[in-house]
């Protein structure tokens, strides 16, 4: 919107065309108390879990040198493909991190000699993507990651998975509302070998076809594995060109993810067993299964799903995806599922980009804002409860300018009891002050007039009760008479009275 267009809304702006328009950059948002609080509660809960598992917090800077980010190398004069990049005074290109894995790989490579090994760390913070913003698509969002660097054991993957399960539950997801689906890149390679696929482009075609299983079903994927598929719009997608037999093999592979973990493993062994990589993948999944069982994580919370083909760029072994089973209904009454909330896997080559030495690593990442949004949509908004400031403070009404010191002292007393409180500091009268308290969702307003001061009392207005009663009282005269929710009590009774109101709220 131009300054001219904005001027229509706010007459003052027309006076000075030089005045900047107050607006957030595209794809960036301001977050008020409710969102901030919901995210903080998730991060506090998840941090607590990760620390109990022996993971230490690490914070890296917002910028990395562009060459260290890996995905992205400065071959153009001003590269900005997917990241926010700029050139430093010394001509080096820096870019804002687009995830927390690349900075960890850089950190691990830089400090490998002095780190305890395996190195377990968790991290959270904003990441930035220079993409086209859209509804629900932001260019800045918060991720939370946990990774183990320096352990090649499948048990390290299992630990990450079990910890993710516990972390998501601690964040507010009830048991059974999320599931981690596990696959192994080596199985996919074994499958390719078994299906006779050696060409990289054909491999990619197979993976893309498998990735569409949710949307197209087995019949659609069968076409994409073979010659190709004509969609409803009449557009033709060229297929991967597998033989009918190979295509069935791939479909059998993707269909193996039902039943328990052992059952899936047995089915998978029939399809990909025998190839060296397939057997390796199967052995790793068997070890993951054993560790998960020892950690008390059953197939209701973590299962093997060969159809997961997540993030194939740098994963080298196990891959996992956390899927939310929570759902909500949209405005049209349609059921809406949330789908993937995060994922991860084993990436044994990322640190080697710097050091040249293979360093096994595995980790899990989830989208914090996305989880918060899902929890809210599912009616499990943590911010409604707890001591946080979504609920406003008790408001001490500024009744008489000469008595400000009394109001400050009273607000101090209330705060000293641990109850949020403030003195109204605007310049409006009684009615506007009450309206202000109401808008802030204050539990109560406190009035200290001359009468109260003389009598050693205080008047408390229970705003929750007032709101409730207001909806029942229809007659204006009756309303004035009742002064719903208002009581004058001894000063010593104030804190207990406020606590009662807060407990009831």
Which residues in 397-456 contact a copy of itself (CB under 8 A)?
A: 404-406, 408-409, 412, 415, 418-423, 425-427, 436, 439-440
Taking the complex as a whole, how short is the minimal distance between the CB of residue 360 and a copy of itself, in angstroms? 10
151 vs 275, which CB is nearer to a copy of itself? 151
150 and 281 Cβ atoms separated by less than 8 Å: no
Taking the complex as a whole, how short is the minimal distance between the CB of residue 31 and a copy of itself, in angstroms? 4
Displacement of CA 361 from its chain's centroid (Å): 22
Taking the complex as a whole, how short is the minimal distance between the CB of residue 342 and a copy of itself, in angstroms? 21
Among positions 4, 243, 337, 355, the unique one binding a copy of itself when judged by CB under 8 A: 355
Which residues in 246-285 contact a copy of itself (CB under 8 A)?
A: none
Taking the complex as a whole, how short is the minimal distance between the CB of residue 144 and a copy of itself, in angstroms? 14
281 and 184 Cβ atoms separated by less than 8 Å: yes
Which residues in 289-318 contact a copy of itself (CB under 8 A)?
A: 290-291, 293-296
68 vs 206, which CB is nearer to a copy of itself? 68
* 86 annotated ligand-binding residue: no
* 314 annotated ligand-binding residue: yes
H or E element: which one contains 500? helix 494-504
User: Which string of DSSP letters, residue by residue, matches 150-217?
Assistant: S---HHHHHHHHHHHHHHHHHTTPPTTSEEEEEEEHHHHHHHHHHTT---HHHHHHHHHHHHTHHHHH
The most distant pair of C-alpha atoms in the chain lies apart, rounded to whole Å, by: 95
127 class by beta-carbon count within 10 Å (0-12 exposed, 13-18 middle, 19+ buried): buried
Q: Is 347 in the site for a copy of itself (CB under 8 A)?
A: no
| DSSP collapsed to 3 states, 100-166 | CHHHHHHHHHHHHHHCCCCEEEEEEEEEECECCCECCECCEEEEEEEEEECCCCHHHHHHHHHHHHH
Q: How far apart are CA 355 and CA 352, in angstroms?
A: 5
Taking the complex as a whole, how short is the minimal distance between the CB of residue 68 and a copy of itself, in angstroms? 5
Q: In 3-state terms, what secondary structure has residue 453?
A: helix
Axis-axis angle for helices 200-211, 244-254 (nearest 10): 50
* 19 annotated ligand-binding residue: no
Q: Two tokens at 47?
A: 């941090």
Q: Two tokens at 71?
A: 């995905």
* 129 annotated ligand-binding residue: yes
* 99 annotated ligand-binding residue: yes
* 245 annotated ligand-binding residue: no
Which residues in 128-157 contact a copy of itself (CB under 8 A)?
A: 128, 140, 148, 150-153, 155-156
User: Which string of DSSP letters, residue by residue, matches 259-277?
Assistant: S-HHHHHHHHHHHHTTSHH
Taking CB under 8 A as the rule, which mask of x and - marks residues 26-55 in contact with a copy of itself? x-xxxxxx-xxx--x----------xxxxx
Among positions 389, 453, 473, 489, the unique one binding a copy of itself when judged by CB under 8 A: 389
* 96 annotated ligand-binding residue: no
The count of chain residues that interact with a copy of itself, using the rule CB under 8 A, is: 108
306 vs 443, which CB is nearer to a copy of itself? 443
Q: Two tokens at 486?
A: 């208002």
Which residues in 52-91 contact a copy of itself (CB under 8 A)?
A: 52-65, 67-68, 70, 80, 84-86, 88, 90
User: Which span (180-188, 216-224, 317-325, 384-392) binds a copy of itself, by CB under 8 A?
Assistant: 384-392
223: left (phi over 0), alpha (psi -120 to 50) or beta: alpha
Annotated binding-site residues for L-histidine read 99-101, 129, 143, 147, 310, 314-315
């Amino acid at each position: 919107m131009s300054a001219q267009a904005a001027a229509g809304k706010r007459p003052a702006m027309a006076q000075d065309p030089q005045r900047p328009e107050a607006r957030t950059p595209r794809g960036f948002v301001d977050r008020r108390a409710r969102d901030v609080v919901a995210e903080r509660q998730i991060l506090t809960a998840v941090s607590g879990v990760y620390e109990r598992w022996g993971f230490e917090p690490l914070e890296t800077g917002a910028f990395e040198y562009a060459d260290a980010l890996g995905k992205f190398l400065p071959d153009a004069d001003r590269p900005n493909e997917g990241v926010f990049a700029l050139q430093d005074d010394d001509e080096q290109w820096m870019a804002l991190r687009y995830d927390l894995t690349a900075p960890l790989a850089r950190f691990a490579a830089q400090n490998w000699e002095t780190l305890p090994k395996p190195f377990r760390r968790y991290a959270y913070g904003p990441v930035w993507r220079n993409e086209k913003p859209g509804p629900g698509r932001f260019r800045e969002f918060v991720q939370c990651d946990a990774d183990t660097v320096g352990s090649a054991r499948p048990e390290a993957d299992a630990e990450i998975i079990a910890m993710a399960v516990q972390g998501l539950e601690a964040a507010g997801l009830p048991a059974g509302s999320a599931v981690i689906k596990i696959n192994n890149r080596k199985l996919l390679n074994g499958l390719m070998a078994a299906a006779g696929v050696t060409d990289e482009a054909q491999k990619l075609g197979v993976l893309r076809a498998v990735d569409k299983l949710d949307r197209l079903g087995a019949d659609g994927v069968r076409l994409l594995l073979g010659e190709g598929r004509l969609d409803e719009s009449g557009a033709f997608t060229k297929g991967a060109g597998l033989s009918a037999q190979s295509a069935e093999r791939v479909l059998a592979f993707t269909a193996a993810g039902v039943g328990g973990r052992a059952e899936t493993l047995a089915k998978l062994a029939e399809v990909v067993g025998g190839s060296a990589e397939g057997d390796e993948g199967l052995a790793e999944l068997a070890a993951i299964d054993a560790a998960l069982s020892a950690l008390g994580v059953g197939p209701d919370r973590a299962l093997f799903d060969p159809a997961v083909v997540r993030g194939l760029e740098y994963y080298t072994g196990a891959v996992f995806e956390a899927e939310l089973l929570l759902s909500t209904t949209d405005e049209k009454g349609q059921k809406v599922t949330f789908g993937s909330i995060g994922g991860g896997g084993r990436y044994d080559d990322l640190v080697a980009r710097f050091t040249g030495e293979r360093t096994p690593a595995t980790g899990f990442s989830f989208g914090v804002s996305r989880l918060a949004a899902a929890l809210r949509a599912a009616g499990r908004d943590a911010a409604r409860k707890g001591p946080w400031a979504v609920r406003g403070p008790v408001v001490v009404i500024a009744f008489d300018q000469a008595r400000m010191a009394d109001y400050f002292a009273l607000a101090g007393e209330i705060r000293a009891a641990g109850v949020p409180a403030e003195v109204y500091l605007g310049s409006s009268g009684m009615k506007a002050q009450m309206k202000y308290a109401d808008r802030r969702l204050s539990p109560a307003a406190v009035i200290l007039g001359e009468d109260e001061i003389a009598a050693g009392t205080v008047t408390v207005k229970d705003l929750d009760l007032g709101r409730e009663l207001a909806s029942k009282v229809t007659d204006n005269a009756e309303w004035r008479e009742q002064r719903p929710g208002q009581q004058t009590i001894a000063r010593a009774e104030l804190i207990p009275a406020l606590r009662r109101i807060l407990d009831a709220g």
